[in-house]
Structures are given as structure tokens and as C-alpha cells.
Structure 1
Amino acid sequence: MSREKILLASIHDVGPRAEAQVDQLADLLCELLGGMNFAMLVVPDHWSEAPLAGNAAYQAKLRRWSDMGVEMFVHGWFHKDLAQHSGVAAFKAKHMTASEGEFLGLSQDEAARRMADGRKLIEDIIGRETAGFIAPAWLYGPGAMAALAESGFPLAEDHMRVWRPETGETLARGPVVTWASRTKGRQLSSRFFASLARVGLHGLDVARIAVHPGDTTVPELISSIRATYSSFAARRRPARYGQLLAS
């Protein structure tokens, strides 16, 4: 029997720093997916400018979304990368993100502390367990990977797979479809990849599509996001990441 094909949708960088943009994306995905069939990646204190702690109004919003079925992932702590990198890590830090790969250069102890603090804060807010941990920009250094294996998080994700941190078992494989808004070149390349994905990735058992607050600033990206989600949702069921554990 063939495995059911599913769609995993997510909104990154959720928090009060980009509140209006996240609200816009939540409304858009709810429309395209027929309900709150997506995950949110929550940043506890985005760039040290928008702490969830003490923000009762935003905490209530997260709790309401969670009660409606949205899966909540811990998405780093600050999201900002302040480490000095060399070698492959330096390439990733320069070309795969713009100072956003917070967990690329952390020690195991520091990564573990931020993971645990983020988990406690978000779980206290939503009143239930978080769905897992996803590093900012999907970038993990050796320290983060070691900390993640001992963290107790049920799920983790990078650009190419979803896995169980405790065992390393891969639960889904294939590239995340996402968009980049910070330069014209990145906007064009991400739109081009999304157009290829709408043709070439339907064979995947698990398709993953992620959006970011910055996407809302570029109408062409929103059009591409609409077309891509619609294409995949017409061929497979929007599902929860937690379903991968049940499988």
C-alpha cells in the first residue's frame, strides 16, 4: 500500500516583532488550506527586540492559535547569529542567511540552554507540549546537533529532512519550498524554484512549504505562495508534523 501524500505548511519567525505580517500569513494559509492546518515557528525574543515574556496580549494570541490546532515549534531564542565562523560554517552564514543562523556557532551547553529556555517559555504560554525544535534558517552547528539529540524534542527539521533528534531517524526527506525577500535576485530565484516545485515535487510523500514575514512585503512572492500552496493542496492533504511520529 502506498503511503498517503501529505502537505506540511509552516509560518516562520512568529512573534510580536512581525505581528502584522504573521497575522496576514495566518489568514492566507487558513484560506488556502481550509483551516488552521499549519505550524508556527515561535521566536522567544526576536533580535532581542520583541520578548514574548511579559507580552500578555501576544501570549494570548499564541494560546488561541494553539487551541485551534496550530502546532507550535521552538524557533531558536534570539534568531540572530553573533558567532564568528570559519570554513563551511562561514560559507553557510554568509550565503544561506543574513546573520540569522543563531544555532550555527553555539556550543553544546549554550545551545541546550536556549533550547530548554525556549521550550519552557512557549509551553507555559500555550499550556501544552511544543511540537519540536527548528533552528533559525534551518542551520545547526555541531554544538546544536549534540544538544538537540539530548533535548527531548520529538521532532526537528532542516532544509532537506525532518527527523527524530533522539534517534536520528529520518521521518521525511525532500527540500523545503520557501521564498527569500531580501534581494531582487533571491526573490527571483526562490520564485523560480517554487515554479519548478509545482511541477517536480509532487512525487514526494511529504511536501513541506514554509513562509516568512518578509514575504508579505513583495506582491510577486505572495502570488507565488498562493500558486504553490494551491498546487500542492489540490493533490494532497494538509497535515500536522506530529503525524510523522504516528507513521
Structure 2
Amino acid sequence: MAESRTDRRLLASIHDVGPRFEAEVDHLADRLSRHLGGPRFAMLVVPDHWGQAPLVGARAFQAKLRNWAASGVEMFVHGWTHRDDNPAKGFKAKHMTAGEGEFSALPEVEALRRMTEARALIEDIIGRPVTGFIAPAWLYSKGAKAALNAAGFAMAEDHMRVWRPADGSVLARGPVVTWASRSKSRIRSSLAFAALARTALRPLETLRIAVHPGDTTVSALLDSIDASVIAATRDRSIGRYADLMKRN
């Protein structure tokens, strides 16, 4: 029997949500809402992006977060600063993230502290529990992975999977479709992967699409995002990350 549309889902998310990128996040939220029929996506919230844009005191942006959460947007903790301050960075953090893999080398105690404080702050702002935790650049040290369960997060995500920290159960598999605006070569490669993914990732039960504030600076990336979301919604239901817990 052929697989039905509702057997396969699309999960969409906006990364790096915070006062530093308020205009860009507004743009992406409006754009996704048009394609998805409303605010049917997740937001990954950074409490103080690069130590330059604290949520604390940003009353207008806090109100936006509360309104988005009340409208059904899922909220994830996305690190604390998003910046990797460890001078002994690993290969991925050095060459793939421009120093933004905040949790790529943290020991468990420090990872747990940041997770716990970020969660408390975001939940206090939105007035409800967060859905889970997603590390900046999807990079986790061994200590960060251990801290996830201690912090009580129901789910976590990296580039290749979504899982439940409590028991390690994998809730979804497959690469995230995302875009890069940092250089011409990265723009070209992300456009090529997104175009390929529209066909190659079609068999996946769960397709994840993630957009970033920087995407709004390149018209070709926005066109590619539109094409990918439109293609995905032709034969997928629009899902929520929380639904993965119900199915596993």
C-alpha cells in the first residue's frame, strides 16, 4: 500500500532567535507562516547571542516570544551565547562553524549550568515548558550529551538525528536541510544540497528544514528555502517536534 501524506512529516525551525536578529527572525517567521499556513514551526532561542544581545531586559522581544509560543510555536533552548570560547577547538568547530559551536568542547558541569540557566530564563519568559535543547551548530561534547538528561530535556537534536536523552532512543533520522550564507562557496554548496535533497530525502519519514537569520541576506537562499518548503509540503503533513515523543 502506498505511503500516505500523513505518514511523513515536515519539521521546520528558525535558529538563532533573539534580539540581535529581531528583524531577520520576523522575516523568516512571516515567510514560513505563509508556506505552512501559520506559525507551525519551532524557534531556537539564544539567551545572549555572542554576549551582545541579552534577552534579559529586552521586553519587546520577550513579548514576541510569549506571543509566538502562545500561537503554537515550539521553543527550544539553543545554548547560552552560541559562541565557542574554548581556544582548543576541534576540527568541526574551527572549520565548519566560525567559532559558534558553543557546546562542542564544554565539560559536563559547565554544559549543565548553561543549559539549566537558559531553560529557566526562556521558560520564565514564555510561561510554558520548552520542547527541548539543540546545541549551536548541532555540536555536542561528551559532557554536553551527558548534561542533557541531567537538565531534564525531553529531546535533543544534532545534524543527523533527534533523540530522547533519558534513554537514548532515536526519534528521527536523516540530515537537516539547511543553508549557509558565510561565503560564496558555502552558498553554492548549500543551494546544491537543498536542490538534491528535494528528491534524495523524499523517502525520509521525518524531513527537517532549518533556516538562519543570515539566510535573509541572500536572495538565492530565500528562493531555495521557498522551493524546499513548497516541495516538502506537497506530500508531507506539517508536524511538531513534540509529536515525535508520541510516536516512539
TM-score (norm: length of structure 1): 0.97
Gaps of 5+ in 2: none
Gaps of 5+ in 1: none
Cα distance in 2 for partners of 1:55, 1:212 equals 21
Cα distance in 1 for partners of 2:120, 2:13 equals 21
Alignment of 1:124-139 (within 5 A): 124-139=124-139
1:80-104 CA-partner distances (Å, limit 9, x unpaired): 0010336xxx211122211100001
**SS at 1:92 equivalent:** helix
Q: Which residue of 2 aligns with 1:217?
A: 217
Cα distance in 2 for partners of 1:19, 1:143 equals 31
Q: Which residue of 1 aligns with 2:194?
A: 194
Cα distance in 2 for partners of 1:20, 1:191 equals 23
The sequence identity of aligned pairs, in percent, is: 62
Q: Which residue of 1 aligns with 2:49?
A: 46
Instruction: Give structure 1 regions of 4+ aligned residues with deviation exceeding 3 angstroms.
Output: none
Instruction: Determine whether 1:5 maps to 2:33.
Output: no
Cα distance in 2 for partners of 1:83, 1:187 equals 27
Offset of 1:149 from its aligned partner? 2.6
Cα distance in 1 for partners of 2:94, 2:230 equals 32
Q: Which residue of 2 aligns with 1:241?
A: 241
Offset of 1:220 from its aligned partner? 0.4
In structure 1, give the amino acid aligned to 2:97: T
In structure 2, give the amino acid aligned to 1:228: S
Q: CA RMSD in A?
A: 1.1
Instruction: Determine whether 1:143 maps to 2:143.
Output: yes
Offset of 1:118 from its aligned partner? 0.5
Alignment of 1:224-235 (within 5 A): 224-235=224-235
Cα distance in 2 for partners of 1:11, 1:83 equals 26
Cα distance in 1 for partners of 2:37, 2:208 equals 17
Instruction: Determine whether 1:113 maps to 2:113.
Output: yes
Contact 1:14/1:22 (<8 A) preserved: yes
Q: Which residue of 2 aligns with 1:66?
A: 69
Q: How many residues align?
A: 244
In structure 2, give the amino acid aligned to 1:177: V
**SS at 1:208 equivalent:** strand
Offset of 1:235 from its aligned partner? 1.0
Cα distance in 2 for partners of 1:199, 1:239 equals 20
**SS at 1:59 equivalent:** helix
Instruction: Determine whether 1:83 maps to 2:82.
Output: no
Cα distance in 2 for partners of 1:98, 1:218 equals 19
Contact 1:85/1:93 (<8 A) preserved: no
**SS at 1:172 equivalent:** strand
Q: Which residue of 2 aligns with 1:97?
A: 97
